[in-house]
A and B are shown apart, each in its own frame.
Chain A
Amino acid sequence: MSQLKVDPGTRQLIIAGAPKKISDFDKNALEEAIRVKEKLGGIEILTLTVSSEDAKAVLREALAMGADKAYLVNDPGVQGVDTMGTAYILAEAIKKIGQFDLILCGETSLDSFSGLVGSRLSEMLNLTQVTFVRKLLIEDDNILAERALEDVNETVKAKMPALVAVTREINQPRIPSLMMIMKASKKEIVNWTLSDLDVQREKIDPKIEVLSVIAPTMERKKIMIAGETVQEIAEKLAKALIQEGVVGR
């Protein structure tokens, strides 16, 4: 996120040059899936993404971390879809993939922080949904999850299949070793376009319209206080604050 740049003239955010990577939240979701697999065994981890651009490099990273197989819905028609369209395409891709026990996703994405796609997906697939999960336990076909809410921690139980959205605190995602990266190059990435799915084009028309994305400004004095010693700086600052009239009157 630190590589985003602002055009000084318009204060429009320049997004084109920003590197595409797995969002931190999604990494947590993948890491949790890998941990469940390591503990219970006999599980296949599939990773799925929808993109208007070639996102294979991102999926390779997921495969290197420990996913078994990746699916990419790559189609220029995906450009400009909103959370409704994204969830719909994901839902159709999941229907095509077939059976699953658990869908893990990040709580939100780092770029837009909208956090809507997982919930929309659960609704479209008529799935039980558990959000803001900071601790996950799987017993038989039940999930036991600790949810972090504003003023309460909730422990909940639900039957699988289910969709679980994890928070960043649930785990520390692993960094793949060179060996894992090499092994990942042999894993399969299934490449679909929208025509491979049962997607009705009018259903991906966006419901919302982004009018502008602008870095805000705020008028402040921006006076930097420097000095030879910390004491000198502190005295200058104290004096300025007293002169400003905010302190000591």
Chain B
Amino acid sequence: MSESKGVWVFSEVYDLTLEMLSKGRELADKLQTELAAVLVGEGVQQRANELIDYGADKVYVIDNPGLEYFQAEACVGVLHNLAVDHRPAVLLIGSTRNGRPLAAKLATRLNAGCVPDCFNLSLDEGKRMICERIAYGGNAVATVTFKSKPQIATVPARAFEKSTPQNRSGQVVKVEVKIEPPKVEVVERKPLETSRVKVEEAEYLVCCGRGLEKKDDMTLLQGLAQVLGGQVGCSRPLVEDRKWFSEWIGLSGHKVKPKLYIACGISGVIQHVAGIRDSKVIVAINKDPEAPIFEIADYGVVGNLYEVLPALKEALQKQLQ
């Protein structure tokens, strides 16, 4: 059997593919091997050259009418066939809600290990891939490696930054394969609304977590954000559990680095902390003196955000005059 080589990336989300290409390039260079992207969809051929500009040496294109939307069986089948033929050493799969099950199914077919949701990837001296991920409900970082190949990892959005596209040359390989028919029929697709405010670019961020009692109370945060000339945001539970908002700050959401981050009623699980750790100054306001957010704050106030926020707004207005 020939030795496994090559780093591959795949995601049904285009931006995530570009982000993984940036990390994939770094890994491929260190392994002195080629970086390939697998592009699956309908009318995707035109994007192949762009993937090369973003770092790919090779792009496998599976352009098939009927693949307009993601199909798990089709993608698993395509990736499995390609991987059996070309034996990549590393496979990076975009960690979306469709991508994670896809990676797990692919790993099972390839009799391979899979490490999900890696926020960092590197190589040890033996050129094994080292993955870092959050474990235990956000209380720890697990460092994991592989005992066999291929080494499959899933990568969440915004874990890595896209590189700047350069005019590069590479190979585009059109792959003609039989597409596995879907086992699941999609009856309806209802897009969710997403806001277009770029919190990544905010200099001042006032964010709330479970401590916010009603959705409308966001006006309290907006009041303070206005005085600072910043924006507001929230942590994941207000999106996932309460459905009040559509986007959150945190490792799996938006990673931010404002000059000032004010966390109100946010307990501070590490997924959230990992998303704000590059902030210059962190202020935490929380009723619970034991809240872990205080461990990572520059300034902490034990108190009710409903009292502290209006008072802080007033104090800042007064002192900034």
Contact = CB atoms under 8 A, between A and B. Distances in A.
A79 interface: no
Nearest to A153: B190
Given A207-B146, A220-B296, A239-B319, A213 B185 contact: no
Q: Is the interface of B mostly helix, strand, loop or mixed?
A: mixed
A179 interface: no
Contacts of B115: 208
A237 B144 contact: no
A120 interface: yes
Contact of A241 (B76, B137, B260, B296): B260
A246 B303 contact: no
B190 A206 contact: no
A213 B142 contact: yes
A2 B120 CA distance: 26
A211 B130 contact: yes
Interface residues of A, number: 79
Most buried by B among A222, A231, A246: A246
B218 interface: no
Interface in B89-118: 96-98, 100-105, 107-109, 111-117
B311 interface: yes
Contacts of B78: none
Contacts of B117: 113
A247 interface: yes
A5 to B, nearest CB: 10
Contacts of A237: 283, 299, 301, 312, 315
B273 interface: yes
A234 B315 contact: yes
B299 A223 contact: yes
Interface residues of B, number: 80
Interface string B284-301: 000000000011111111
B136 A213 contact: yes
B108 A120 contact: yes
B191 A209 contact: no
Interface of B: 72, 76, 96-98, 100-105, 107-109, 111-117, 130, 134-137, 139-148, 183-192, 194, 228, 240-241, 259-260, 270, 273-274, 277, 280-283, 294-303, 307-308, 311-312, 314-316, 318-320
Query: Which 10 interchain pairs have the tightest Cβ spacing?
Result: A207-B113, A119-B104, A234-B311, A238-B315, A208-B113, A123-B108, A234-B315, A1-B137, A128-B183, A155-B188
Given A118-B101, A221-B298, 16 more contacts: A113-B116, A119-B104, A119-B105, A129-B72, A151-B191, A154-B189, A156-B184, A206-B147, A207-B148, A210-B142, A211-B143, A213-B136, A222-B297, A234-B308, A237-B301, A246-B260
Interface of A: 1, 4, 6, 13, 15, 82-84, 87, 110-116, 118-120, 122-124, 128-132, 144, 147-159, 165, 168-169, 205-216, 218, 220-226, 230-231, 233-235, 237-242, 244, 246-248
29 contacts: A13-B136, A115-B101, A123-B104, A123-B108, A123-B109, A129-B183, A152-B190, A152-B191, A154-B188, A157-B184, A158-B185, A159-B183, A169-B241, A206-B147, A207-B107, A207-B111, A211-B145, A213-B141, A215-B139, A216-B274, A220-B297, A222-B295, A225-B299, A234-B312, A234-B315, A237-B315, A238-B312, A238-B316, A248-B319
